[in-house]
């Protein structure tokens, strides 16, 4: 980076507020996601993390505030348009087609970018065939190998254990060729070995693919191990943000998680150490 030259963040959230009737989900939320970073959003249950993700990805329309993607406002864009720009996400509850194979689920991730017309698609010739073959090659040679799921590519998603279904959902998001990958609780419900595998894949997506990552996660050990920047929400407001080590020491974060409880216990949980 050239000294003195300002770099536009990959994603900027400025003054975003969101309410549902009389319930305020987000209040004046402001932070940015640096290009090529892993930024994690944490907070107690009900803090507004998933509402924030839904606002960024276009499922919710904020009452006020601005969301910018590589410097351009995307507030007026619907979710599919944001996806075509390169904003991909996974979901807290796995959103796969259980009756389809792993390969077919992953290929669905590319449909937002395909240019095939209706006639071509119906008769599967010309552009449709070329796009399908190129997509299959990309998925099989890059994504499936990368996530080490070649042995299940023809399996039905319904037959897979939970940890592998989460990996398939990540694969589908990667098939969208994201510039920013939004991960909503990627290791929720996983055992320790599965969590370590997913953490490794997330780091590799950042380092080998150059993808910027915004993540919501409750596993504090993983968050503190792999994040470059941590944003803490409580009751829909940002109460702290900064480097993982800074956030661990923040008194507002300690109060939000434990109230007047054991600070040592919080720090052990944040660092993933045994109690």
Q: Which of left, alpha, beta for 92 (phi over 0: left; psi -120 to 50: alpha)?
A: alpha
Average per-residue pLDDT in the chain? 84
Would you say 65 and 13 are in contact if contact means Cβ atoms under 8 Å apart?
Answer: yes
Q: In what order do the strands lie in the sheet with 212-216?
A: 87-89, 180-184, 212-216, 38-42, 229-234, 237-242
pLDDT higher than 50, residue 152: yes
State yes or no: pLDDT of 120 exceeds 80: no
Confidence of residue 8 (pLDDT cuts 50, 70, 90): confident
pLDDT, position 111: 58
1-86+208-275 belongs to CATH 3.40.50.720:
no
| Cβ atoms within 10 Å of 90's Cβ, excluding its own | 23
Mean of the pLDDT values across residues 165-180?
Answer: 90
Query: Do 90 and 184 touch, CB atoms closer than 8 A?
Result: yes
If one compares 264 and 234, the residue with the highest pLDDT of the two is: 234
Run of H or E residues at 27: strand 23-33
Tokens (6 digits) for 74: 């995307």
User: How confident is the model over 72-106, as pLDDT tens digits?
Assistant: 999 999 998 998 899 998 887 667 877 888 888 88
With beta carbons less than 8 A apart as the criterion, state whether 41 and 182 touch: no
Cβ contact 85:77 at 8 Å? yes
Q: How many CB atoms lie within 10 A of CB 235?
A: 15
The predicted structure's pLDDT at residue 268 = 64
């Amino acid at each position: 980076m050239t000294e003195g030259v300002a770099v536009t963040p990959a994603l900027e959230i400025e003054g975003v507020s969101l309410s549902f009737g009389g319930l305020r989900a987000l209040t004046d939320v402001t932070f940015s996601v640096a290009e090529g970073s892993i930024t994690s959003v944490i907070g107690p249950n009900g803090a507004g993390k998933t509402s924030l993700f839904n606002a960024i990805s276009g499922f919710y329309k904020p009452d006020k505030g601005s969301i910018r993607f590589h410097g351009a406002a995307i507030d007026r864009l619907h979710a599919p348009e944001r996806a075509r720009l390169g904003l991909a996400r996974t979901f807290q509850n796995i959103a796969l087609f259980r009756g389809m194979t792993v390969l077919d689920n992953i290929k669905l991730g590319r449909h937002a970018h395909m240019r095939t017309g209706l006639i071509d698609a119906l008769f599967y010739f010309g552009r449709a065939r070329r796009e399908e073959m190129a997509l299959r090659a990309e998925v099989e040679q890059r994504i499936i190998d990368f996530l080490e799921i070649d042995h299940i590519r023809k399996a039905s998603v319904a037959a897979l254990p939970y940890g592998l279904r989460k990996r398939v959902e990540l694969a589908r998001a990667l098939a969208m060729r994201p510039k920013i990958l939004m991960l909503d609780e990627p290791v929720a419900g996983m055992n320790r070995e599965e969590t370590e595998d997913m953490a490794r894949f997330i780091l590799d997506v950042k380092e080998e693919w150059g993808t910027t990552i915004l993540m919501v996660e409750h596993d504090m050990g993983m968050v503190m191990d792999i994040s470059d920047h941590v944003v803490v929400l409580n009751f829909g407001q940002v109460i702290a943000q900064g480097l993982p080590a800074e956030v661990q020491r923040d008194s507002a974060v300690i109060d939000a998680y434990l109230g007047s409880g054991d600070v040592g216990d919080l720090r052990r949980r944040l660092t993933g150490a045994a109690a």
